[in-house]
Structure 1
Amino acid sequence: MKRFCLIFSLLVFVFAVKAQQSVNFQKLRYDDDFSYLKKDSAKTWYKKLKYTPLSSDGSTYISAGGEVRYQYQYFKNENWGDAPKDNDGYVLTRYLFHTDLKVGSHFRAFFQLQSSLADGRIDPSPVDQNVLDVHQLFFDANLYGKESESLILRAGRQEMLYGSQRIIAVREGPNNRLAFDGVKAMLKRKNFKTDAFYTHPVVNRPEIFNDHFNKNTKLWGSYSTFNAVPVLHNIDLYYLGLWKRNTVLDDGQGKERRHSLGTRIWKSKGNFTYDFEGLYQFGKLGAANIMAWTVSSNTAYRFENIKFKPTFSLKTEAISGNRNYGDGTVETFNPLFPRGAYFGLAALVGPSNMIDLHPSIQLQLLPDLSLTTDCDFFWRMSKNDGIYAPNLSLIYYGAANNNAYTGTQLAANFDYTANDFLSFTLEGTWFAPGDYLKQSSPGKNVYFTAVTAQFKF
């Protein structure tokens, strides 16, 4: 541990001194673009790491980068007292390293390793620990190669992220990010882009180089985005198909074939922002029919002329749950592959059978330091369904419990951005169980805290 802290401190110092220009790291690191360094004649060693030409004209080059994330987490009364007691907490570390080879404007190869370690975690899951594995390895062929439009075919292991990350995300919050094996076609024009894909989510295993192709789950579909739309600003339209060999819900188990049709209307620039989304699901779970849905609203306003520039936000969600036991219809919503920290890093509950009311306030205390406080109120949408984790695993059944109120969650976090490479987060969460959880679980208040240091290069 001391050795890691020393190495980490030295890296921070070196990059603080040597990195003499700002960079913009993307959520998906394969979207990083350092081709502009082709025209930079005063290259530092860091710039050479980001752009090393392999041809005389500089159109073929290789780039390298990565990430180190160090995170301490502590739970008191995890899972409302149902989890094993841990008095010391645990440390999660994540290492990512990638290389990106671009051959002209028509071919590309991207490779990324991931190592996720869970020191002191009692019975860590594959989401917490994966000692070392190939996280991404894919090849691109650009059939157009024009600056204004492109048609790219991608094959291999790859991360995917769409929309507000409610349905398909990289699982950034947990220690081990998620990738998919498959093929994808990406068409992009001026104010329009669309992806079509057929994939299998990677099965993560905790040892070295043993993640494997997932025969038990398939995800396919298309996702389209229209920008610069009059009045509405931006619109997403999507279809997603899911097949699983076995799914277990409160009222139903068996082979699942689920289809999701959704739309999202959003605006992310300016003082007033919004994100409205609606999604309907249908298909089969065993012999039962699937009829599920969700609607969400997320609006925010930032007051630029007030001290600390407060941003007031209100998010609400209605997410369907099973209405009646044994009626041949399953209404439990499947969030597919959402961001793991859906309702905060503590990730106590997931987006199924849920009504959620979530106000929050963000204050910009300093140019590089912000404070966010929020409050979440949770109810079960249906009393004939239980509550679920973000991965749709059933936490508690709904039968014989006529209470709807699940609980109240209060959270606060400080975010400090030291520079483009280094950031820190301190956060705390308190979850007070409602009547439903008091009857279904030991009913203890949950206390959670986490300290995160993240270094990207």
Structure 2
Amino acid sequence: MKTAILALGIFLGSISAYAQKASLFKPLRYDEDWSKMKRDSSAGSYDKIKFIPLAKHQKLPYLSLGGEVRYQYFYLKNEDWGDAIPDKDGFLLTRFLGHADWHLNKHLRAFVQLQSSMANSRLQPSIVEENPLDLHQAFVEAKWNTSSQTTLTTRIGRQELSYGSQRLVAVREAPNNRMAFDALKLIYQQKNFKSDAFYSHPVANKAGIFDDHFNENAKFWGLYSVINHAPVLNNIDFYYLGIWKKTATLVAGKGEELRHSVGTRIWKTSGAWQYDFEGVYQFGTFQDKTIRAWTVSSNTTFQKDEWRLKPKFGLKTEAISGDENPNDNRVETFNPLYPKGAYFGLAALIGPSNLFDIHPSIDLELTDRLNWGMDYDIFWRLSKHDGIYAPNMSVIYAGKNTEEKFIGTQLAMDFNYQLNPFVYLRLEATWFASGPFIQAESAGKDIFMTALTTQVKF
């Protein structure tokens, strides 16, 4: 342990002088471009791992190395509303990511990333919390410039996917194991237009070493397009996503699922007023039943940089369909597909199915590096005949013991400290006050969670 701390200290010292000129890390690490860096006699150790030329006096080919170390301490009181085995000491989640990005020439590249996630002192770790060592990403990519402003890219292999607001397709950053897909992906991009077409099999994590093999029990495909700088609406996403699962579980039953999602998103991320409006309609089959599900969401924020502490006020709200009659020939439970794991905060207590919620928030910039945020979420079941689900669509409570709709309220608070572009600290706490539905379906205790996250990227 002392050796690891000493090595981390030496690393942080070596990169501190570089922090001011480092480009921001991307949510998808393969999107980073370090080709502009040139190795010279004055380059530091960090420069040398981000841009390693593989031929003398040439920009290409080159190799770039990077990674991440993340520690998260969690303490939960009354986990699963008192239904889980009590854990008095809390637990520590650790995640290590390391990647190599090889650019052979201006057309061809290969990207490989390993992931190791451990749940220390966790009584019953889930598969998204512990996966000792596995191949997380490994793909090859070919890119062509069909004109001065148009590119066409083909990417094949294991890779992360992330689209839009991450309500439906995300890398699952907050949980310990990030999400990956074995996929073939085509990317067409012009100046203000981008369109991705993909076919994939989601990787099913297993709790061993290098055992996350090809998953034949689920398929995921789609077309996702984005128009930027559109008149009046600013930015528009429109998409189709298809999913097939050999076995899916809902309150309505268990069986084969084929589901299609069509949706659109209108968004703006500049100026004092910012917004994100999205609507999705789903259809298909579950067992021998017909799927008809939907969701609409709104996320609006207002911020004035001229004001002291630069307060940012936000209001989210969404309605997400649930099944009105589990015994008929129609399924109306919305499937969020592969959403961000911490959909309603790091506590990740509830997933986005059969819900109506109102979610105000406020954020303050206490210093250039320190932010404080608070949000309050109020949850109801949209249908009293359907249950509530986890973000991965597993049934939490089926709701067969009550017709109560009010689930409860969640108050969360956090401090975020960005020491430099490499080091990030976050302290947060969440209080979930159980409503009549939770009290009828479980032990009904209020949940308290606190977490401390330390993350280093390089």
Return the TM-score normalized by structure 1: 0.98
Question: Aligned partners of 2:323 and 2:48: how far apart in 1?
Answer: 56
How big is the shift at 1:326? 1.0
Structure 2 equivalent of residue 78 of structure 1: 79
* Residue 342 (structure 1) aligns with: 343
Which residue of structure 1 aligns with residue 8 of structure 2?
Answer: 8
- Number of the residue aligned with 1:185: 186
Distance 1:312 1:98 in 2: 37
Q: Is the 8 A contact 2:71 2:93 kept in 1?
A: yes
Partner of 1:387: 388
Percentage identity across aligned positions? 54
How far apart are 1:269 and its partner, in Å? 1.4
Q: Distance in 2 between matches of 1:360 and 1:366?
A: 19
Alpha-carbon shift at residue 21 of structure 1 (Å): 2.0
Specify the alignment match of 2:291 in structure 1.
290
Could you tell me whether the CA contact under 8 Å between 1:105 and 1:145 is conserved in 2?
no
Distance change in 2, residues 1:91/1:63 (3 Å): same
**2:102 maps to what in 1?**
101
Deviates more, 1:13-22 or 1:198-207: 13-22
Q: Cα offset for 1:399?
A: 2.0
**Corresponding residue for residue 136 of structure 1:** 137
CA–CA distance in structure 1, aligned partners of residues 156 and 395 of structure 2: 34
Q: Output the CA distance in 2 between the equivalents of 1:93 and 1:186.
A: 33
Q: Aligned letter for 2:208?
A: E
Q: 2:39·2:47 contact (CA, 8 Å) conserved in 1? A: no
The residue number in structure 2 matching 1:243 is 244
Shift of 1:321: 0.2
Q: List per-residue Cα deviations over 1:385-433 (Å, max 9, x = no partner).
A: 0000000000001223110000000000000000000010000000001
Distance 2:138 2:93 in 1: 24
1:208 offset after TM fit, Å? 0.9
Opposite residue 154 of structure 1, the aligned amino acid is R
How has the CA–CA distance of structure 1 residues 308 and 140 changed in structure 2, closer, same or farther, with 3 Å as cutoff?
same
**Which aligned pairs between 1:285-434 and structure 2 lie closer than 5 A?**
285-434=286-435
Amino acid at match of 1:446: I
Q: Number of residue pairs matched?
A: 457
What CA distance in whole angstroms lies between the structure 2 residues aligned with 1:7 and 1:275? 43
Q: CA deviation at 1:3?
A: 4.8
Q: CA deviation at 1:147?
A: 5.7
- 1:429–1:20 distance in 2 versus 1, CA, 3 Å: closer
Q: Where does residue 37 of structure 2 map in the other structure? A: 37
Query: Aligned with 1:37: secondary structure?
Result: coil
Does 1:48 pair with 2:74?
no
Provide the rounded CA distance (Å) in 2 between the counterparts of 1:393 and 1:129: 18
Q: Secondary structure at the match of 2:444?
A: coil
Per mean C-alpha deviation after superposition, the further-off stretch among 37-46 and 151-160 is 37-46
Partner Cα separation in structure 2 for residue 275 and residue 452 of structure 1 = 28
The question of whether the paired residues in 2 share the 8 Å contact of 1:76 and 1:446 is answered with: yes
- Give the Cα–Cα distance (whole angstroms) in 2 for the partners of residues 36 and 417 of structure 1: 25
Deviates more, 1:38-47 or 1:172-181: 38-47
Q: Between 54-63 and 124-133, report the one with greater CA deviation.
A: 54-63
Where in structure 1 are there 5+ consecutive unaligned residues?
A: none
Query: Displacement of 1:233 after TM fit?
Result: 0.5
TM superposition score normalised by structure 2: 0.97
* CA offsets 1:143-162 (integer angstroms, 9 cap, x no match): 33766221011100000000
Secondary structure, aligned partner of 1:35: coil
How far has the Cα of 1:20 moved from its partner? 5.7
Q: Does 1:218 align with 2:222?
A: no
Q: Which amino acid in the other structure matches residue 96 of structure 1? A: L
> Which stretch shows the higher mean deviation, 298-307 or 257-266?
298-307
The CA deviation at 1:45 is 1.9
Shift of 1:332: 0.2
Change (3 A) 1:315 1:18: closer
Match in the other structure for 2:438: 437
The alpha-carbon deviation at position 252 of structure 1 amounts to 2.6
Partner AA of 1:379 in structure 2: W
CA contact (8 A) 1:252 1:330 kept: no
Unaligned runs of 5+ in 2: none
Comparing 212-221 with 300-309, greater Cα deviation is found at 300-309
RMSD, aligned CA:
1.4
Q: Distance in 2 between matches of 1:197 and 1:98?
A: 23
Q: Does 1:69 align with 2:70?
A: yes
For 2:88 and 2:234, the matched residues in 1 are separated by 50
